Amino acid sequence: MALDGKVAIVTGAAQGLGKGFSEILLQNGAKVALLDVNEKVGNDLKAVFDKEYGPDRTLFWTCNVESEEQVKDSFQKTVDAFGGLDIVCNNAGIVNENNWEKCVAVNLNGVVRGTYMALQLMKKENGGRGGVIVNVASIAGLGPFVTAPIYTATKYGVVGFSRAIAEVCSMCGSGVRINMLCPGFVRTAILSSLHSEETAGQFYSMAGFTQKLLEQYGVTEVSEVAEYFLKLVKDESRNGEALMVQKGQACYIKFPQGADMFSSDPV
């Protein structure tokens, strides 16, 4: 997929991975609507992007992905302003093992909401022009992150939901591909959740264990993950795939097709 003139939406775009994904889309010629709950940081980023890429290339909408109304409004205003929609990255996410309902509301419900809203506007059956959705999961969506069980559950949810909806979209001829990005630890503000009792909750006392995991896996830079995000957007042969990115390595995950294809012990 060539990106020149394409229209993209990125949630959680104000900083961290969302900022990196937005910037690489801009560098490749797309127009990008930046959606984030943090109005100040989002507006500041738009001002920086305006200087670098021109004032007509980005929009910023204050948008909490927990809110159906705000997501609907931001997506529709983007289509009205830019004349269509081709790429959506559902990236907004948090760690909160304490307020776990909020963690589910943002990480899983927010991704489901963003995916359904995107499909309404992008699928060919509705007069859309097709395109690609990238849902941001984590390696914690592929194997358990034991000191963040709720975070793990939300990311497994993102992977399961995305695989299923990708297949049904292909069956229906929607023209929309849906893929998952599964990074390991990445150098962003979310890593500070490790050192906060407010977000690590009952697992705060195990911060030493989490820190060891982090040292074992290593920490990837946003720019490296963004390069793989771009591959996932551009490669039209990929649908329903999970691209795992860790420090210095990346691969597409081979999932068993169904429950009976996992390796197993007879009972």
Ligand X SMILES: CCCCC/C=C\C=C\[C@H](O)C/C=C\C/C=C\CCCC(=O)O
Query: Distance between CA atoms of 31 and 82, rounded to whole angstroms?
Result: 8
Q: Which residue has the tokens 């060539």?
A: 2
Select from ligand NAD, ligand X, none the partner in contact with residue 97, using the beta carbon and a kind-dependent cut-off of 5 to 8 Å.
Answer: ligand X
32 touches 25 (CB < 8 A): yes
Residues tagged active-site: 151
Helix (H) or strand (E) holding 7: strand 7-11
Nearer to ligand X, 98 or 174 (CB): 98
CA distance 103 to 111: 12
Among 128, 183, 201, 240, binds ligand NAD (CB under 6 A): 183
Please state the closest distance from residue 124 (CB atom) to ligand NAD, in A. Answer: 28
- The two tokens of residue 47 are 């001002």
For every residue of 8-62, DSSP letters joined together read: EEEES-SSHHHHHHHHHHHHTT-EEEEEES-HHHHHHHHHHHHHHH-TTSEEEEE
x/- map, 131-170, ligand X, by CB under 6 A: -------xxx-xx-x-xx----------------------
Q: How many residues bind ligand X (CB under 6 A)?
A: 21
Residue 38 binds what, of ligand NAD, ligand X, none (CB under 5 to 8 Å, by partner type)? ligand NAD
Residue 195 tokens, joined: 């050192």
Nearer to ligand NAD, 75 or 185 (CB): 185
Q: Which stretch binds ligand NAD (CB under 6 A): 2-10, 62-70, 160-168, 257-265?
A: 62-70
CB of 232 to ligand NAD, least distance (A): 14
Cβ-based nearer residue to ligand X, 11 or 138:
138
- Run of H or E residues at 241: none
Binding site for ligand NAD (CB under 6 A): 11-12, 14-18, 36-38, 63-66, 91-94, 106, 136, 138, 183, 185-186, 188-191
